[in-house]
């Protein structure tokens, strides 16, 4: 999906492109399990998606690839690096990890409804920003504290603005970050960016405040099977 917030004056060569990518489908995604910070590998479909994302980025200059150290994100980044013929190493950044999901982790929502119906009732009655604490999960404030720090660290490593920066992360933390930066109309309700989708941002390296422009949101045009944005929890 294209979501063009860029005005003509910010599309010049002096701007640093940051490409934010959600990891490919994991085995837990395929079965509807909420992963949080638990480890699940990519499925074969997820590896295919990662390869297609890498092929889509093959023609651009890449200055660095960074990823959450969780296996599903880090392997996605490694596959992208291979397919895009990036000669460097993928750099793990712990602050890019998915939200810790508290009691949501490791279970499907159907399991919760069957085995913990009172929790489900109370959870759904709360505003979204209060649900996470109720479930013993990281709040958006906690997520943003570490994700923003990680993102700023990545930008600081590329002061010249040469080449694109690729950042591979997760649906929940990406959603929190994008909505914090660009408002609630971005990924509304419970939508997440689709697996292996590409979000393009522009950053001015001269701007110490790390202001960003959203150029493209959760594009899946490089995925031939037409994956779309998802509502499934992480």
CA distance 100 to 120: 18
Catalytic residue among 75, 98, 227, 234: 98
State yes or no: is 23 an active-site residue.
Answer: yes
Residue where the block lists tokens 């399990």:
33
Secondary structure of the chain as H, E, C letters: CECCCCCHHHCCCCCEEEEEEECCCEHHHHHCECCCCCCCCECHHHHHHHHHHHHHCCCCCEEEEEECCCHHHHHHHHHHHHHCCCCCCEEECHHHCCCCCHHHCCCEHHHHHHHCHHHHHHHHHCCHHHHHHHCCCCCHHHHHHHHHHHHHHHHHCCCCCCCEEEEEECHHHHHHHHHHHHCCCCCCCCCECCCCCEEEEEECCCCCCCCEEEEEEEECCCCCCCCCCECCCC
State yes or no: is 98 an active-site residue.
Answer: yes
Catalytic residue among 23, 100, 170, 203: 23
Residues annotated catalytic, as ranges: 23, 98
């Amino acid at each position: 999906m294209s979501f063009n917030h860029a005005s003509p004056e910010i599309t010049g060569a002096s701007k640093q492109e940051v490409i934010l990518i959600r990891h490919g489908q994991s085995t837990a995604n395929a079965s509807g399990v909420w992963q949080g910070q638990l480890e699940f590998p990519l499925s074969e479909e997820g590896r295919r998606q990662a390869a297609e994302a890498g092929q889509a980025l093959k023609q651009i200059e890449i200055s660095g690839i960074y990823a959450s150290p969780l296996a599903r994100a880090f392997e996605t980044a490694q596959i992208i690096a291979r397919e895009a013929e990036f000669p460097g190493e993928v750099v793990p950044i712990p602050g890019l990890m998915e939200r810790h999901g508290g009691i949501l982790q490791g279970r499907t929502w159907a399991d919760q409804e069957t085995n913990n119906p009172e929790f489900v009732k109370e959870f759904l009655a709360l505003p979204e920003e209060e649900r996470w604490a109720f479930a013993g999960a990281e709040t958006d404030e906690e997520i943003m504290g570490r994700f923003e720090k990680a993102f700023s660290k990545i930008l600081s490593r590329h002061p010249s603005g040469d080449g694109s920066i690729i950042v591979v992360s997760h649906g929940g933390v990406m959603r929190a970050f994008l909505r914090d930066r660009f408002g609630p109309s971005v990924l509304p309700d419970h939508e997440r960016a689709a697996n292996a989708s590409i979000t393009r941002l522009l950053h001015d390296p001269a701007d110490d405040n790390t202001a960003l422009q959203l150029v493209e949101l959760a594009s899946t045009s490089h995925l031939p099977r037409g994956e779309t944005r998802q509502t499934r929890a992480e």
